[in-house]
Chain A
């Protein structure tokens, strides 16, 4: 039981690690798909380049889109971007942070695909065998243009009858493969250096704002999850009450006074005063059109639904020590006790 609670809490609190895990899985899936894919160069003059480049670049695009789709945070970010301002101002820095973290994670699988493709070499050989300089290789010099093109385009196909006993084929193949692997390793090195620098130099620039942005982006994610869970609990209690009322209404002789006791207190807490369809709809609509300001101390008094929450933060401006007030005196969007 404790173990389940711990796993549950872990998922709740650490969506970053979950996202990293999914990103790793996608990268592994990308390698697996490449190895199980049966590469089949057409060995025809114009088709080679199209095929080779296609295999090198189309699957990465699909993997990138997959990475965006699978990441829950992308929907959260879009909702935050597109929501009406209501009682809570939008902070573009947070949206930018979320966007960049989503894109960084989504880029891992495509980059893995491209690097594996280059290190393997088949795509490169297929795409560029027709573009090499035939003078460099003995078997392809002294031929007409058309014949050279034809022969070169058949280089990737070892079993073709024209290429079976051709020694220059191996030379061309090795040459192209060498280029392909050099390119692959260079790209890998470059990316690692860039990642290293980005991570190492980041604390030198604006660390305070970064910590704030990270906190609030986690907060938005958590808030959405908890809202969904609360809706689930509410639906459950609502359904419970509804059904029992229904059974009650079939009774003809028993009269009752309190149907929501002794368990009533717990249930009433869960229902939070929302007890009919109109109120639930109103609640959901006003959650969307006017999110409450981030000021928990004021929610000790329950506010009736539908009231504008736009001007509730006034008494706090003077008393709270607010780091953000330095930049936005009049437009306080969030108060924090951090």
Chain B
């Protein structure tokens, strides 16, 4: 148990490294996907451009959306954005912080895809083979070819087996030229991305550091609160079910006559413990009301005032105490170990 608590603490306190690890995995997956993909240039005048640019830009879009989908915090962001205000104001800075950190992580896999594609060169070679400067690299004076005919020949550059324009412009020369341009674009893109990332990371402490600390704390808090609420509800449901079933068996027992005390009586302290875990919520209507009220009206972030209220008795209470019962002094343990 301690081990899990320690791992949990480590991951929590190093949430950044955990998310960074996931980013790294997605980046590697993206590179692997590109390597496994069987690129297949159509080698036809207009199709080349569409295919090449499609392979360059559509998978990154898909990877970006996938990055958002795989991030657990997306539903948290949506919930926080859409909840009714209730007693707790919404802070747009926190929402912005959560969105920005998710978007930054989701951008890594698409950037890796685009870099690998450009550095490899096949896409640009396919897309722009018809735009090769023939006057510089080849013999334009070779034939009085029509524009259309020349484009048809040039479109076949990526497909070496069917290329028939060796006299117009040698295949290797055109391929080398286009790949060189593609690799230059690729490295420039990589440099641009790293420079952007560097600027974002290094300029932040110079501006808005206090607001950043605040947003980080509260976004983390929202995450933890959601998880703890789920855990508390699960435990409550468990105790609820236990007591419910117990009562059912007891009722069945009573119905079948008093003479069959088969079920071992639970000691009063154990039964009491289970009932205490229910935290006073003991029927469906109340539970439904509780869940609805959790969504509609989250409690304010202020424990002090309730402590104060409790000391003075239940200040906001509308229902009168049941007759004859003095204010009970009860010390209750609320939650089991998490």
Contacts and interface: CB of A to CB of B under 8 A. Distances in A.
Nearest to B314: A255
Contact of B6 (A1, A68, A69, A241): A1
A232 B14 CA distance: 10
A281 B328 CA distance: 36
A40 B179 contact: yes
Nearest to B215: A284
Interface in B207-221: 209-210, 213-214, 217, 220-221
B197 interface: yes
B327 A51 contact: no
A329 interface: no
Interface in B158-213: 170, 172-173, 176-177, 179-180, 183-184, 187-188, 190-191, 194-195, 197-198, 201-202, 205-206, 209-210, 213
Given A236-B224, A255-B327, A288 B213 contact: yes
A276 B210 contact: no
Interface residues of A, number: 79
Contact of A65 (B2, B137, B194, B300): B194
A276 B302 contact: yes
A216 to B, nearest CB: 19
Interface residues of B, number: 82
Given A250-B286, A253-B322, A263-B333, A245 B306 contact: yes
Nearest to A277: B301
Interface in A46-84: 47, 50-51, 54-55, 58-59, 61-62, 65-66, 68-69, 74-75, 78-79, 81-83
A228 B280 contact: no
Contacts of B236: 247
A38 B180 CA distance: 10
Contacts, number: 213
Interface in A12-55: 37-38, 40-44, 47, 50-51, 54-55
B143 interface: no
B303 A38 contact: no
A76 B327 CA distance: 54
Given A79-B209, A250-B281, A277-B301, A240 B228 contact: yes
Interface stretch (A153-161, A170-178, A295-303): A153-161
B303 A245 contact: yes
B214 A285 contact: yes
B228 A243 contact: yes
A280 B201 contact: no
Given A54-B187, A236-B224, 20 more contacts: A1-B2, A37-B119, A38-B120, A62-B194, A65-B191, A68-B202, A69-B194, A69-B198, A78-B202, A78-B205, A83-B209, A238-B221, A239-B221, A242-B303, A250-B293, A252-B317, A256-B332, A258-B331, A275-B303, A285-B214
29 contacts: A4-B3, A4-B6, A42-B176, A55-B183, A65-B197, A65-B198, A69-B198, A69-B201, A75-B205, A157-B172, A232-B220, A236-B224, A238-B303, A245-B303, A246-B294, A247-B281, A253-B319, A254-B280, A255-B327, A256-B332, A257-B310, A257-B327, A259-B332, A259-B334, A262-B331, A275-B303, A275-B307, A281-B214, A284-B213
Interface of B: 2-3, 6-7, 9-10, 12-13, 119-121, 137, 170, 172-173, 176-177, 179-180, 183-184, 187-188, 190-191, 194-195, 197-198, 201-202, 205-206, 209-210, 213-214, 217, 220-221, 224-225, 228-229, 232, 236, 279-281, 286, 289-290, 293-294, 298-307, 310-311, 313-314, 317, 319, 321-322, 327-335, 338
